[in-house]
Structure 1
Amino acid sequence: MAEPAVTATSELEFKRGKKDGGGGGYLLGRFDVGKLLGAGTFAKVYVARDVRTDELVAIKALDKEKILKGGLVAHIKREIAILRRVRHPYIVQLFEVMATKTKIYFVMEYVRGGELFSRVAKGRLLEETARRYFQQLISAVAFCHARGVFHRDLKPENLLVDDNGDLKVSDFGLSAVAEQMRGDGLFHTFCGTPAYVAPEVLARRGYDGAKVDVWSCGVILFVLMAGYLPFHDRSIVAMYRKIYKGVFRCPRWFSHDLVHLLHRLLDVNPQTRITIPDIMEDPWFRKGFRHIRFYIEDNQLHSFDDPNPEDEQPQSNEPKPDEVYESGSESDCSVASCPASFSDDQYQQALLRPPSLTAFDIISFSKGFDLSGLFEETGERTRFLSKEPVSDIITKLEEIAKVVSFKVRRKDCRVSLEGTREGEKGPLTIGVDIYELTPSMVVVEVKKKAGDGQEYEEFCNKELKPGLRDLVYESPPIVHTTSTT
């Protein structure tokens, strides 16, 4: 079931005041619904304003009765699970799912820039611009494949562009997960859009989801560069014949490297078709390519490569005066005014004053009033006490990160250690929060924010714990007493 495209509209087109069908009030008590963005058989998509944050979102409303009659309950559940699994800066985000007696609502990221298709419809793109979109598409598709998700309907109509000119993959209605493969390790469902579908799907003999997505990416790249389809024909039978044979001609303005890449992408033999890792090593693709690294915290995506004057600024193939390429910067922080008599060390300590733990914080850390929770160690979270200055703790974390080539990001008494190795679940990211327990003692909380749990455990045991051992305050043993009558 293809979802209506979550396309964009101007804020001037936003119509305030559309209420839910229940009479009075905002939709779900939170959303002021505006213009209809798109409609399909089972769903409609609206732009809406979250009255709590005043931010625009896209709301996909699905009719429960139609879903039940169409036998699509499992399909909807799978789509929700997939969208939660593939949270990436170049994929449209699903924020939350809510329901009433008659409707299911997907609250999604609102992408203002519209479909990439509308840009291509005006004519072919510059090579640098097409390359940038293609790089972002491959980054998103690689992320999906690493998590066992295969889109199976990639096309310019399902690629949106945000305010920053960055790509957003949408419409996972036809996507599949690895668990759906048959015993032969292949998918067998015939789906996709004819002009973008791979020859092995047309053959109905079973196909590799990753190879099918790569083929579609190849068709998209050709369209971006040429302004028309590689296998276009008025007769769909003739078009299918061209797809089967892989017959297409590149325009004269295509560079040699681009032609070479396209022939590898549009290889009719899925066994010899180029793979995602090989695409990322291709000379045409690599020009100006920049890996995007990120983590998720507080239900928000944050980029690893935040704007930082000490870092090299990202190069753009399509510069804009106010363009921002990666979100999640935490560089802004307030600076308290300090007496002029403060020494440099005192000034730094004042800036590094950690937030104090309240009684409620302590109880939330602990089981009831058992303070042993302050020294808790679980699979992906560790806490310990320290009497060392906050600056010394942060310095030690930076030293540990340097040894293993992790990047360090800081905001006040929060530290993120960010790895560079691309595992199946993305780079390992570790968050360290420091809280004041008493004026002379702090609680240090270490937790995994992203990445593989086993890799996190290995890093903690081999690097983090040995490196921080000298900073840990060994608390006296807890003595449990019993009273007798």
Structure 2
Amino acid sequence: MAETTTSTTKKDAQALLLGRYEIGKLLGHGSFAKVYYARNVKTFESVAIKIIDKEKILKGGLIAHIKREISILRRVRHPNIVQLFEVMATKTKIFFVMEYVKGGELFNKVAKGRLKEEVARKYFQQLVSAVAFCHARGVYHRDLKPENLLLDENGDLKVSDFGLSAVSDQMRQDGLFHTFCGTPAYVAPEVLAQKGYNAAKVDIWSCGVILFVLMAGYLPFHDQNVMAMYKKIYKGEFRCPRWFSPELTRLLTRLLDANPETRITIPEIMSKRWFKKGFKHVKFYIEDDKLCSVQDGEESESDQSMSESESELESRRKLASLPRPVSLNAFDIISFSPGFDLSGLFDDEGEGARFVSGAPVGKIISKLEDIAKVVSFTVRKKDCRVSLEGSREGVKGPLTIAAEIFELTPTLRVVEVKKKGGDRREYEDIYNRELKPGLQNLTTDESIAPHLPLDALNSSPDSPNLLSDTE
């Protein structure tokens, strides 16, 4: 009996990954990695953990590839994209802790037969929404197919497997990509030509093939001879079945246009009547590098029942209980200087500014809330972080501005403001019109020490620097 208990304890210890995750069944595997179902033993949250063998990727020269995949997954946080929660590593393994999507592959659903038009349209709408977001963030999937599209418990689509994806920085001087990649039946004709291609148009072609498969139950370009199939793809030779509506046939003709120059664009897809039927824009915001869904902007009954005076009291209570801001050490201050900026390793948004203020944390947050009211933005707060979220939809989603307060000295604070999502021009307009004047007025009112100039931490060659070269 004691021997059995010891054996069980050892087994449990082995199954517990890094003291937090209980590993379950194998979900899938590839050449360099295996994906397991897992559960957080503290929060009971289900996750999928991709375990990568370090030795194999070192031998395969894929370290840069793995780093790029991590960077891309951090960049494309969208409700219709499988989310990366965290990355951990030991001496021999790398662990990607990801969202667990338990509905399986869309491929399994299509394998049973063609889908009803309204179901296929919903999946296509969610796919295009996710792809549009990726493209707006400079990310191109390059291997879109039903096997890489998962379904969650609500029947919503999630794009997965960004292993072959690329970012705009990888383009050559001609502005094109040249890597031959993808899955034969879904690859665009210009990729086959091997003369360089626009990756955004390649993804659109794959979306067209996927839509055809969902509606027809078979591939538009198919032949047992791969070269014969490639020939059909290269010429764009396909035929829509008789049950396709004229609107759908016209859309597919534009999606599967063999000429990438005349192939339909994503804004054009979204403007088509067939696509727009029942389409709902996805609303979400990014806070603390985590995506949070928003329910169509509607308030709950409890939110609606709270009176204005109660809301004000609640705000005061939250401000009174705010923790002390994070203190900046010497390394933090140095890293703020453009010459030592390390944020480019993971931070893909370059727009940001910093202000020095003698105002207390509560007053800084109140000022940010006042600015949010002027521009009709929603405010979300967590500790010394404030997120301002717009409601206007765009290609890149709603504008989200993040502000974080740090402690420089016991009497001085740094307010760091940056764009977390949305359109850059809209951000610049609000920043120049409201944020900059408002925060500058706040710092002026609080009589900053004369030796520490305003915007010192947001230095440029023409402005004074907190840490000069002589220091």
- For the criterion TM > 0.5, the same-fold answer is yes
Answer yes or no: is 1:295 the counterpart of 2:285: yes
Corresponding residue for residue 324 of structure 2? 361
SS at match of 1:450: strand
8 A Cα contact 1:17 1:34, kept in partner = no
Corresponding residue for residue 147 of structure 2? 157
SS at match of 2:69: helix
Corresponding residue for residue 96 of structure 2? 106
Answer yes or no: is 1:252 the counterpart of 2:242: yes
Change (3 A) 1:135 1:381: farther
CA distance in 1, matches of 2:93, 2:109: 34
More helix by share: 2
CA distance in 2, matches of 1:363, 1:213: 43
Answer yes or no: is 1:26 the counterpart of 2:49: no
Q: Say which is worse superposed, 355-364 or 184-193, in terms of deviation.
A: 355-364
Answer yes or no: is 1:134 the counterpart of 2:106: no
Corresponding residue for residue 430 of structure 1? 401
- After superposition, the C-alpha distances for 1:122-161 in whole angstroms (9 at most, x for unaligned) are 1111111111111111111111112222111100000001
Corresponding residue for residue 445 of structure 2? 474
Of the candidates 163, 182, 192, which is equivalent to residue 173 of structure 1?
163
Gaps of 5+ in 1: 1-15, 311-330, 337-343, 368-377, 435-442, 481-485
SS at match of 2:375: helix
8 A Cα contact 2:352 2:418, kept in partner = no
The AA in structure 2 aligned to 1:33 is I
Cα distance, 1:103 vs. partner? 1.2
Corresponding residue for residue 207 of structure 2? 217
Corresponding residue for residue 46 of structure 1? 36
Answer yes or no: is 1:408 the counterpart of 2:378: yes
Corresponding residue for residue 93 of structure 1? 83
CA distance in 2, matches of 1:290, 1:104: 37
Cα distance, 1:70 vs. partner? 1.6
CA distance in 1, matches of 2:170, 2:311: 55
Equivalent positions of 1:266-305 (< 5 A) are 266-305=256-295
Corresponding residue for residue 251 of structure 2? 261
- After superposition, the C-alpha distances for 1:76-120 in whole angstroms (9 at most, x for unaligned) are 122112111212111111111111121111111110111011111
CA distance in 2, matches of 1:141, 1:18: 45
The AA in structure 2 aligned to 1:65 is E
Corresponding residue for residue 420 of structure 2? 450
Of the candidates 307, 310, 314, which is equivalent to residue 351 of structure 1?
314
Corresponding residue for residue 392 of structure 2? 420
Of the candidates 196, 207, 227, which is equivalent to residue 217 of structure 2?
227
SS at match of 1:462: helix
CA distance in 2, matches of 1:96, 1:365: 24
8 A Cα contact 1:36 1:45, kept in partner = yes
Change (3 A) 1:387 1:86: closer
Answer yes or no: is 1:117 the counterpart of 2:98: no
8 A Cα contact 1:211 1:275, kept in partner = yes
CA distance in 2, matches of 1:134, 1:120: 13
Cα distance, 1:162 vs. partner? 0.9
The AA in structure 2 aligned to 1:355 is K
8 A Cα contact 2:209 2:220, kept in partner = yes
The AA in structure 2 aligned to 1:85 is R
Change (3 A) 1:408 1:237: same
SS at match of 1:353: helix
- After superposition, the C-alpha distances for 1:19-70 in whole angstroms (9 at most, x for unaligned) are 69xx747212211100000111111100011123211111111111111222
CA distance in 2, matches of 1:194, 1:253: 26
The AA in structure 2 aligned to 1:353 is R
Q: Say which is worse superposed, 258-267 or 86-95, in terms of deviation.
A: 86-95
Cα distance, 1:332 vs. partner? 6.9
CA distance in 2, matches of 1:432, 1:279: 35
Cα distance, 1:259 vs. partner? 0.3
In angstroms, what is the RMSD of aligned CA positions? Answer: 3.9
SS at match of 1:108: strand
SS at match of 2:445: coil
Cα distance, 1:299 vs. partner? 3.5
8 A Cα contact 2:285 2:389, kept in partner = no
Identity %: 61
Answer yes or no: is 1:202 the counterpart of 2:177: no
Change (3 A) 1:432 1:129: same
Equivalent positions of 1:313-352 (< 5 A) are 347-352=310-315
Q: Say which is worse superposed, 109-118 or 285-294, in terms of deviation.
A: 285-294
Change (3 A) 1:286 1:454: closer
Cα distance, 1:420 vs. partner? 2.2
8 A Cα contact 1:148 1:177, kept in partner = yes
Corresponding residue for residue 55 of structure 1? 45
Of the candidates 180, 185, 189, which is equivalent to residue 179 of structure 2?
189
CA distance in 2, matches of 1:253, 1:212: 27
- After superposition, the C-alpha distances for 1:401-450 in whole angstroms (9 at most, x for unaligned) are 24xxxx53568997733152636x6532135799xxxxxxxx99784452
The AA in structure 1 aligned to 2:327 is S
CA distance in 2, matches of 1:261, 1:346: 53
Cα distance, 1:393 vs. partner? 6.7
Cα distance, 1:278 vs. partner? 1.2
Cα distance, 1:365 vs. partner? 7.7
Q: Say which is worse superposed, 218-227 or 349-358, in terms of deviation.
A: 349-358
- After superposition, the C-alpha distances for 1:186-211 in whole angstroms (9 at most, x for unaligned) are 22222111111111222222221111
8 A Cα contact 2:403 2:418, kept in partner = no
Corresponding residue for residue 137 of structure 2? 147
Length-normalised TM-score, structure 2: 0.76
Q: Say which is worse superposed, 239-248 or 59-68, in terms of deviation.
A: 239-248
Cα distance, 1:166 vs. partner? 1.4
Change (3 A) 1:379 1:157: closer
- After superposition, the C-alpha distances for 1:309-352 in whole angstroms (9 at most, x for unaligned) are 59xxxxxxxxxxxxxxxxxxxx977999xxxxxxx775454333
Cα distance, 1:164 vs. partner? 1.9
8 A Cα contact 1:17 1:32, kept in partner = no
